[in-house]
A and B are shown apart, each in its own frame.
Chain A
Amino acid sequence: MWQTWVSSYRLYFQMVSASIRAQMQYRYAFFMNILGWAMSYAGTAVTMWVMLHSFESIEGWTLWELIFLFALAILSWGVCVLFFFHFRSLDQYIVNGTFDRFLVRPIHPFFHFMAMKFDIGAFGQLLFSVLALSIAFWKLELSWGFVKWAVLFGAVMGGALIQGGILVLISAMAFWTTRSERFYWVVMFPTKSMMNFPLTLYPRLLQWFFIFIVPFAFVNYLPALFLLEKSHPSYSPLWGTLSPFVGLIFFWFCFRIWMAGLNRYKSTGS
């Protein structure tokens, strides 16, 4: 058992370093990409600033609190993109018949598919979110003890697992419908955009949906309540500390669905 873990671990790093080298071949494109991503998130932040210029606050969240909420989501999204973003294009492998190669090798297909790419384009998300969080941290004059830093770390890990889980779920759709990328753009991308704003803007039923069914609320809203010491009559800030556990459970669940889909998979031939 221990030995398989060690050898998988080594293999993962070998595959990841190959993937990074491949992506670094186009160095100019790589830097432009990172800059582009960072800029487009900065664009959303500017939109928030314009919006709050005349209105001051939304649902009791001021500009920098809102930026904090947004940047927290992007930070965990960046971590998630590193490992899981390429899952959305599983449909291409299935349609082209190239998915079979993941099945004939002596490593776990999920692990193999995951290790295929380590998307360093995510440095754009990380660059933006770390900068934005630092500025928000300074503007809001926060000072945190150990507990809060731990909760932040937990929120980033949990958030990456939750969003990664959704990507895995979307990719599993390809086993049944031979489509997945489209679901990302049509369902996950708009939903993710909704979560850049305080959850309580939306109707109660939807809030529960994002807490108990697709736990997006644990990515940024609930942890931000705890970290910024905001209170809300319906949700205790303590819920935000649960992010890593929710992330683990949700990810495991999505992984099981992916495996169920895999068992159902029949090659399209070529």
Chain B
Amino acid sequence: MVQELRMYLEFSRKAFQRSAAYRFDAWTRLFSNIIFLFMWGFIWYGLYAGKEEVGGITFEAMLSYIVISQMLQGIHGAGTPLWEIQERVRSGDIAMEMMRPYDYPTRTLFSDFGNILFHMLTAVLPLYIVLFWLIDLQTPTSLFQWGIFVLSALLGYLIRYSIELTFGLFTFWLIETGGVEDIFYFSISLFSGSVIPLWFFPGWLETVARFLPFQGIFFVPNAIFVGQIQGEAIVSALLIQVAWLVICFGLLRWVWSKASLKIVVQGG
């Protein structure tokens, strides 16, 4: 067990070093992240149009929500994207991974940790620390709130990883994956609350979103960060995240075990 963990951590270390060799990629990714932050910041500024608060949410809280959401998205951006998983399946590279003495989903997760750590330390955190320092934004008021936020953000990433990899593995059964990709990207941009918090959704759509796993990816950590989820609600929000993580991770393992049996190598 310990030895296995040590092996997977080695993947993280290697991924970290590889990221360091391709710094150009990290910085260009940061550039597009900044443009999107800028865009959503001004869109919400325009929506509020000078109003102090809308539906009990102050502009300051909303802006903080968007900034922290973009920060988390920037961090997620360093993980293995959906198209890369699809490409691995399509090109047959995944067969090579299966022949090796490790578990592919776990290996991906640990490599992502390495990539994310590098991207976070060298690009995302420095930028966002400066932003939080320059702009008057709302941050957690206690160490406890900070801790819960970090925990929730971590759970959010794990949920995303489970869902993204599961969607990627569908490529085993589908020749054309356009539709799957669109469902994934649409859900992750809308239902996760990445740009519009769930509380601004029309009533019925909010109910739909509350019954989906995507809320756990960005909405819950963001809302905890700006203090919209407080007190006992924190416990239930975290429990929902954990429950969805268990379900999504279980689904991932199940799909993976099916996929391993279904391997069809196209071409030679």
Q: Is B98 close to A, CB under 8 A?
A: no
Q: A43-B190, A58-B43, A58-B47 are in contact. Are A36 and B195 (CB under 8 A)?
A: no
Chain A interface residue bracket vs B: 20 to 34
Give a binary string over B171-215; 1 marks a CB under 8 Å from any A CB, 0 the rest: 000011011011001100110000110001110010000000000
Residues of B near A198 (CB, < 8 A) are 46
Q: Is A150 close to B, CB under 8 A?
A: no
Which listed residue (A32, A58, A187) contacts B179, Cβ 8 A?
Answer: A32
Which residues between 25 and 62 of chain B lie within 8 Å of chain A, taking CB atoms?
25, 28-29, 31-32, 35-36, 38-39, 42-43, 45-47, 49, 54-55
Residues of A near B36 (CB, < 8 A) are 190, 193
In the complex the two chains form, what is the Cα distance from A96 to B45 in whole Å? 46
Consensus secondary structure, chain A interface: helix
A185 CB → nearest B CB, Å: 7
Say yes or no: A186 contacts B28, CB within 8 Å.
yes
Closest to B25 in A: A182
Total residues of chain B contacting the partner, CB 8 A: 33
Consensus secondary structure, chain B interface: helix
Q: A190-B32, A191-B35, A201-B42 are in contact. Are A51 and B47 (CB under 8 A)?
A: yes
In the complex the two chains form, what is the Cα distance from A32 to B195 in whole Å? 27
Residues of A near B176 (CB, < 8 A) are 28-29, 32-33
Residues of A near B25 (CB, < 8 A) are 182
Residues of B near A197 (CB, < 8 A) are 39, 43, 46
Closest to B45 in A: A201
Residues of A near B42 (CB, < 8 A) are 201-203
Residues of B near A134 (CB, < 8 A) are none
Chosen A-B contacts, 15 in total, with CB atoms closer than 8 Å, are A28-B175, A32-B178, A36-B182, A39-B182, A43-B185, A47-B190, A50-B190, A54-B55, A55-B47, A59-B49, A182-B25, A182-B28, A186-B29, A191-B35, A203-B42
